[in-house]
């Protein structure tokens, strides 16, 4: 049995403004066919003996992750919630302890995959996994090395040595940090190096034995966090104190660069970590001028560029090697050769405490989503969409009143002691300080327009009394 372990905790700041802290790149549809998370999960499903995936993610992404899995009709083995990221060694350890305590008759294999990487040929990746199974069953830690296509300086490298028994696997000679261009060119020319893709295959016992030897503190903290974990709806909430006591170290530094029972299996398949706009461009079809175009875009004399429209028409004239990304609240324009500097731009926005770093105008919630349409002095307008069966928290505001107008579907509304059903073109008013709740009892999406008026319209002006999703200590409807 192979259990896919999907690590979904990254923030993807270099893909701003599409990727935001509260809606990171793994949840975005960047290459088509679904989000990177959905594509990663589907990549593992056709594997022979593949079991339900186990997801490890930041707790702030939990409802979005669960909803994306539901949309592709995948029921996970578990969704583990990290109170705060502690890098990949701890995330994998949590999954390994869980599988060990499950008590399977035959120990499963753990296929560790980042949720935000992509292959243009999934079949090639699955073939490499099948080839790696024998090595993993023979007490090896298996890593997958990507055959390099160019002298990249943004990836780590693996130098391989002698063959490891029958098959394509080789013993690992050494790991190499991200090199300078001259070194990367020598690596490519030698043919002895592979890119370090961050994919692994091993049994829980082999991984945990190595972790206990090399990083006993991570071992102890993660074991305790799983033993003290609590079920929360469809999630497993790790014990916060135990997990946050763990050192934050990548699986490469913690184990892979130290272990001797290490095998690397080469894989091609058009891999990318989609870590920047130029790498995303390479994953997409380019037109006759070398442009990757997404959305409502018109160009004249533009070449070798990536241009993305999220809604509005984008026009570009007389440009070469640029990135233009339009969203409803931000626009990025950059030279394609300098897209690595976007991370620095995001850091400056963080220092300025700009909201555009964290959220889009469309904000996901477990019951649906809302979109900010307009705002001004003492008013704000939102479009709220509630999925069938969705229920907003029972809440109260101290500084604002709300007007709700139903534009589609049926709304069940509780205001104080009153309950009413509103249909299309009907409306109601919630005075300041009145307890209220919104529910969609219908079979189609409920859409309504909310007009807020008052002296303060921040999302933190919410006093919550009940919530069917078990949320607490958060700013939410």
Residues 124 and 26 in one domain: yes
Buried b / exposed e over 52-63, threshold 16 CB at 10 Å, is ebbbbbbbbbbb
In a domain, residue 26? The reply is yes
Q: Which tokens go with 249?
A: 């170290």
Render pLDDT for 105-147 as a digit per residue (tens, 0 to 9): 889 999 999 999 999 999 999 999 999 999 999 999 999 999 9
In a domain, residue 46? The reply is yes
The stretch 423-428 carries a mean pLDDT of 96
From residue 344, how far is each of 88, 308, 359, 468 by CA, in Å? 23, 21, 18, 39
Residues 257 and 319 in one domain: no
Residues 180 and 252 in one domain: yes
Q: Among residues 306, 323, 351, which one ends one of the domains? A: 351
End-to-end CA gap in the chain: 41
**Confidence category of residue 472, pLDDT binned at 50, 70, 90:** low
In a domain, residue 222? The reply is yes
DSSP characters over 46-85 = TSTTB---EEEEEGGGHHHHHHHHHHTT---SEEEEESS-
Render pLDDT for 334-368 as a digit per residue (tens, 0 to 9): 999 999 999 999 999 999 999 899 888 888 888 99
Q: Which tokens go with 137?
A: 């069953």
User: In the beta sheet, which residues pair with residue 375?
Assistant: 380
Is the pLDDT confidence value at 471 over 70? no
Render pLDDT for 56-69 as a digit per residue (tens, 0 to 9): 999 888 989 998 99
3-state SS, residue 43:
helix
Residues 30 and 159 in one domain: yes
What value does the mean pLDDT of the chain take? 93
Report d(CA 242, CA 225) in Å as an integer: 5
Cis amide leading into 176 (omega within 30) = no
pTM of the model: 0.88
Contact assessment for residue 393 and residue 454, using Cβ atoms and an 8 Å cutoff: no
Residues 340 and 305 in one domain: yes
3-state SS, residue 213:
helix
Is the pLDDT confidence value at 375 over 70? yes
Q: Among residues 272, 298, 325, which one ends one of the domains? A: 272
Report d(CA 469, CA 97) in Å as an integer: 27
Give percent of the chain above pLDDT 70.
Answer: 99
Residues 451 and 323 in one domain: no
In a domain, residue 158? The reply is yes
Question: What number of other Cβ atoms are within 10 A of residue 170's Cβ?
Answer: 21
In a domain, residue 471? The reply is no
The parent domain of residue 323 ranges over 288-351
CATH at residue 117: 3.90.550.10
Q: Is 357 exposed, middle or buried (0-12, 13-18, 19+ CB in 10 A)?
A: buried
Do strands 118-119 and 446-454 pair parallel, antiparallel, or not at all (unpaired)? unpaired
Residues 32 and 104 in one domain: yes
Closest listed residue to residue 110, CA positions, set 87, 129, 128: 129
Q: Among residues 325, 351, 377, which one ends one of the domains? A: 351
Number of domains in the chain: 3
Residues 240 and 126 in one domain: yes
In a domain, residue 192? The reply is yes
Residues 413 and 317 in one domain: no
In a domain, residue 280? The reply is no
Residues 150 and 245 in one domain: yes
Do strands 379-386 and 394-396 pair parallel, antiparallel, or not at all (unpaired)? unpaired
In a domain, residue 356? The reply is no
CATH at residue 383: 2.60.120.10
Point out the least confidently predicted range of 48-52, 190-194, 402-406: 48-52
pLDDT of residue 47: 87
pLDDT of residue 475: 46
Residues 164 and 20 in one domain: yes
Render pLDDT for 220-269 as a digit per residue (tens, 0 to 9): 999 999 999 998 878 999 999 999 999 999 999 999 999 999 999 999 88
**Axis-axis angle for helices 216-227, 87-102 (nearest 10):** 50
Residues 254 and 292 in one domain: no
Do strands 193-202 and 157-163 pair parallel, antiparallel, or not at all (unpaired)? antiparallel
For residue 60, the Cα-to-chain-centroid distance in whole angstroms is 11
């Amino acid at each position: 049995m192979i259990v896919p372990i999907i690590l979904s905790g990254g923030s993807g700041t270099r893909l701003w403004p599409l990727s935001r802290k509260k809606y990171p790149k793994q949840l975005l549809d960047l290459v088509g066919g679904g989000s990177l998370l959905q594509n990663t999960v589907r990549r593992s499903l056709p594997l022979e003996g593949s079991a339900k995936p186990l997801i490890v993610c930041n707790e702030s992404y939990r409802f979005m992750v669960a909803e994306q899995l539901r949309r592709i009709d995948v029921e996970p083995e578990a969704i583990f919630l990290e109170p705060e990221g502690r890098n990949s060694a701890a995330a994998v350890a949590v999954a390994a302890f869980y599988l060990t305590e499950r008590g399977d008759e035959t120990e499963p294999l753990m296929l560790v995959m980042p949720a935000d990487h992509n292959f243009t040929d999934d079949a090639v990746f699955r073939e490499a996994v099948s080839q790696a199974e024998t090595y993993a069953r023979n007490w090896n830690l298996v890593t997958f090395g990507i055959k390099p296509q160019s002298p990249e300086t943004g990836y780590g490298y693996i130098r391989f040595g002698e063959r490891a028994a029958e098959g394509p696997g080789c013993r690992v000679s050494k790991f190499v940090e991200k090199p300078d261009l001259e070194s990367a060119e020598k690596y490519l020319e030698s043919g002895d190096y592979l890119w370090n893709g961050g994919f692994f295959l091993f049994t829980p016992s082999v991984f945990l034995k190595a972790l206990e030897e090399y990083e006993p503190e991570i071992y102890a903290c993660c074991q305790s966090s799983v033993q003290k974990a609590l079920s929360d709806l469809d999630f497993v909430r790790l014990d916060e104190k135990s997990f946050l006591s763990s050192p934050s170290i990548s699986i490469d530094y913690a184990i892979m660069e130290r272990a001797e029972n290490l095998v690397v299996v080469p894989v091609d398949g058009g891999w990318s970590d989609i870590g920047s706009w130029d790498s995303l461009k390479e994953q997409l079809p380019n037109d006759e001028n070398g442009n990757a175009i997404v959305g409502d875009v018109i160009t004249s004399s533009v070449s070798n560029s990536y241009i993305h429209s999220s809604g509005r028409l984008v026009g570009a004239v007389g440009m070469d090697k640029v990135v233009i990304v339009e969203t409803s609240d931000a626009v990025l324009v950059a030279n394609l050769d300098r897209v690595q500097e976007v991370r620095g731009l995001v850091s400056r926005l963080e220092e300025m405490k700009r909201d555009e770093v964290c959220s889009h105008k469309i904000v996901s919630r477990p019951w649906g989503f809302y979109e900010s349409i307009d705002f001004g002095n003492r008013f704000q307008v939102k479009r709220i969409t509630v999925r069938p069966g969705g229920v907003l928290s029972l809440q109260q505001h101290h500084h604002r009143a709300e007007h709700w107008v139903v534009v589609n579907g049926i709304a069940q509304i509780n205001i104080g002691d009153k309950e009413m059903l509103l249909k299309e073109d009907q409306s109601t008013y919630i005075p300041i300080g009145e307890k209220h709740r919104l529910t969609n009892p219908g079979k189609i999406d409920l859409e309504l327009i909310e007009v807020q008026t008052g002296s303060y319209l921040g999302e933190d002006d919410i006093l919550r009394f009940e919530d069917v999703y078990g949320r607490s200590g958060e700013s939410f409807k």
